[in-house]
């Protein structure tokens, strides 16, 4: 009987040690796993922001709420890149020259073959040439997988939620906003349940979004992430 009691007591001690260990290591392990996952998710949200900002430059300041449209844009669109050679001197500027007039003068010389006016203005080595560069190479680099933009890392195939808003300010100026986000439940639901509940409770009490988000459709925030 004494051996049985000792064995039971030993098991109780082991159980208590385990509970104490879990109470200490549970939050630590949760925070470590959360940090690893959120680092990758933040990077993906920043990529979405980059793509949206470039999309906006070629679409009259508007964003898109469609990942199909955004991904196709990244894969196929090209951005204008102006190659500049030479600058206008103070003397040239004082004489009324500006870049638009200088380029018009050079283009006229190219058509007529008469470069006297260009030479007289000192513009022989002045040029502005527009080159078109693929979006994907410009903002991400060759080999980037644009199809991954929609998917949440550690989300088991889940996709980010993306919304846009087109409105006007009180002064009548156009207002275009976007946001992309993912809830904690999507990428943390397989971790310690109680720690997840605690995290969401803290965020809710602080009136903060329970997840990661970039941009906002409520008010302009320069497309910042809610962790920045």
The answer as to whether 26 is a domain residue is no
The answer as to whether 53 is a domain residue is yes
Do 114 and 216 lie in one domain? The reply is no
Question: What does each of the 228 residues of the chain score in pLDDT, given as a tens digit?
Answer: 555 555 555 555 555 544 544 555 568 899 999 999 999 999 999 999 999 999 999 999 999 999 999 999 999 988 787 788 888 888 888 888 888 888 888 888 889 988 888 888 888 888 888 878 888 888 887 789 999 999 999 999 999 999 999 998 888 889 999 999 999 999 999 999 999 999 999 999 999 999 999 999 999 999 999 999
The answer as to whether 74 is a domain residue is no
Do 165 and 198 lie in one domain? The reply is yes
The answer as to whether 197 is a domain residue is yes
The answer as to whether 5 is a domain residue is no
Do 161 and 212 lie in one domain? The reply is yes
The answer as to whether 20 is a domain residue is no
Do 60 and 98 lie in one domain? The reply is no
Please state the pTM of the whole predicted model: 0.76
The answer as to whether 185 is a domain residue is yes
Residues 6+ apart with CB under 8 A from 130: 80, 81, 82, 83
Range of the domain at 187: 33-67+147-228
The answer as to whether 134 is a domain residue is no
- The domain tally of the chain equals 2
């Amino acid at each position: 009987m004494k051996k049985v009691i000792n064995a039971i007591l030993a098991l109780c001690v082991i159980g208590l040690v385990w509970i104490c260990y879990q109470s200490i290591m549970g939050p630590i392990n949760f925070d470590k796993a959360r940090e690893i996952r959120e680092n990758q998710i933040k990077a993906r949200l920043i990529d979405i922001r980059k793509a949206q900002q470039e999309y906006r430059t070629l679409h009259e300041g508007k964003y898109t709420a469609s990942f199909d449209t955004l991904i196709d844009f990244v894969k196929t669109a090209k951005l204008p890149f102006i190659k500049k050679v030479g600058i206008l001197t103070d003397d040239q500027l004082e004489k009324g020259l500006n870049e638009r007039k200088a380029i018009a003068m050079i283009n006229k010389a190219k058509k007529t073959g008469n470069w006297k006016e260009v030479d007289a203005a000192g513009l022989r080595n002045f040029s502005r040439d527009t080159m078109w560069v693929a979006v994907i190479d410009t903002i991400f680099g060759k080999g980037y997988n644009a199809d991954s933009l929609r998917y949440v890392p550690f989300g088991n195939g889940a996709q980010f939620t993306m919304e846009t808003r087109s409105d006007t300010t009180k002064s009548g100026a156009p207002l275009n906003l976007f946001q992309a986000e993912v809830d904690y439940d999507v990428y943390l639901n397989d971790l310690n349940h109680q720690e997840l509940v605690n995290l969401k409770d803290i965020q809710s009490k602080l009136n903060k979004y329970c997840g990661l988000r970039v941009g906002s459709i409520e008010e302009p925030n320069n497309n910042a992430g809610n962790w920045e």
